[in-house]
Amino acid sequence: MYLRLVHFILILLLLSISIDGFSQNNDNNHAYTLEEIIKLSKDKSLASLQANTIKENKYWQWKTFNSTYKPQLSMSGSLPGFNRTFQNVQQNDGSIAFVPVSYNYSTVDLSLSQSIGLTGGEVFISSKIEQFKNFYIDQTQYSSKPTFIGIKQPLFSYNALRWDRKIQPLRYAESQKKFSEDIENVGLQVSALFFELLISQKIYDISKNNLANNDAIYNIGKVRYSLGKISENELLQLKLALINTNKAVAQAALGAEVATLNLKSFTGFLGEGDVKLILPDSIPAFNINVDSVLSEGTRKRSDIVSYKRRTLEAERDVAEARGTSGFRANLVATIGLSGRGSAVSEVYRNPANEQSFNIGFNFPILDWGLRTSKIKTAQANKKLVEYTIAQEQINFGNQIRTQVKQFTMNRELVKINKEANEIAQKRYSISMKRYVVGDLGITDLNIALQEKDSAQSEYLFSLKNFWLSYQYLKVLTLYDFKNSKRN
């Protein structure tokens, strides 16, 4: 009668302290869901701030490019520069005389220019005035070009402006898409850290639960040993299990602390103290197929724009090799008015016409195959880019197909592991009761404990793999399949 009463009390004690690691009551009001952590990280983490800074940098690069195609108004010149020196002057008999000179010179030029993207040239209109003052003879002269219109045009040459008009818009579009990918990558990275901490916390809870159970079992074992129901060897096994569980609790606590620091360091906003997380065990029921993922990926990914940009850059390099290593010519033509006088008012009276026209050229006669080598190198690089892009497109398609299969498999594994976990939990609970009443040996109880812990871990890791595969699909496609919307 006494033995039965002791067994009954110990069973009640064991059941009262035996808690499931997944059903803990969390009194912390600051428990975060996975979606909340992702949203906060996209808004406030250093990684998201870096992505926004890169986006801003690309925007101003784009503005800089556009500015070069708009009229540029500038003023240049020199302030009065004073010179007093001796200047060599050749005499009528051929000798050289060093004549003292003392003067200052100043100029102001106001110019409006406009690049011509179609031809790669430039048109400009300017107004210029110059002053020269000779102190030795006390003479001041002014020269002016009130209106001066000109054009500078490369002939048969490489047109960098034309290629920039094609490539720079693609660079900007690529940067916008890359920003969206960077933000989704923030979600992927913080999801991994979320589960690192969550699993560490759950392992810590499991370890504490096991510690409480092993402590109760050890106390039961001591009673049963005193009654002669178990051997000393079995009691020592129980004590060793208790010691090992204490070690597991300490290791799990350290792992949870490290994981907390990692998550806080990445997000930068979770404050002091522990971070409580909510297990995302609700699996969405949507389906994903390869065709839809490929369609979204080819529509939104920066790689698609990158393929076009890199192809154009390779074509540009070929055009540059042809245009800069063969015959080159430059046309410079100006027309305007000019005047001179001893006073400023005189230079604008009855100005004279002024024109200039010049074509300069450069033609390599003997270059030892330099031009041909440059062109062939650029053409070979163009082929290499084309082959590389073709391979990357194949790899992207394979990556999509693999990831969709991985996502589908992970979802099925969550269902399987959830059921296995429930069975293992129930089996362990039954095994403990049987051990207390003496209907089960310590070896079988330890096996049930290991299976329980293993099933819990596999379920947690299957949840992690499922959500990480889902987040990775969002990175690849920039599409939220769960909510059916584009990012």
Which tens digits make up the pLDDT trace of 397-443? 888 888 888 998 999 999 999 999 999 999 988 988 888 787 888 88
Instruction: Band the pLDDT of 330: cuts 50, 70, 90.
Output: confident
Instruction: Band the pLDDT of 29: cuts 50, 70, 90.
Output: low
- The one-character DSSP state at 274 is -
Chain-centre distance for alpha carbon 100: 67
pTM equals 0.79
Report whether 170 contacts 305 (CB < 8 A): yes
How high is the pLDDT of residue 5?
47
| Cα–Cα distance for residue pair 283/286, rounded to 1 Å | 9
Domains of the chain: 2-62+165-312+384-486 (1.20.1600.10), 74-116+121-158+327-363 (no CATH)
- For the cut 70, the answer to whether the pLDDT of residue 126 exceeds it is yes
Segment 461-468 mean pLDDT: 94
Residue 475's CB is within 10 A of a number of other CB atoms, namely 21
How high is the pLDDT of residue 484?
65
State whether the Cα torsion 344-346-350-354 is positive or negative.
negative
pLDDT higher for 379 or 328? Answer: 379
Q: How many helices (H) and strands (E) does the chain have?
A: 9, 10
List, in order, residues 6 or more apart from 196 with CB less than 8 Å away: 259, 262, 263
194-240 residue pLDDT tens: 999 999 999 999 999 888 888 888 888 888 888 888 788 888 888 89
| Cα–Cα distance for residue pair 69/116, rounded to 1 Å | 8
How high is the pLDDT of residue 59?
93
To which residue do tokens 């990831």 refer?
Answer: 403
| Cα–Cα distance for residue pair 15/207, rounded to 1 Å | 17
Q: What are phi and psi of 121, to 5 degrees?
A: -100, -165
How high is the pLDDT of residue 487?
59
How high is the pLDDT of residue 155?
85
pLDDT higher for 445 or 16? Answer: 445
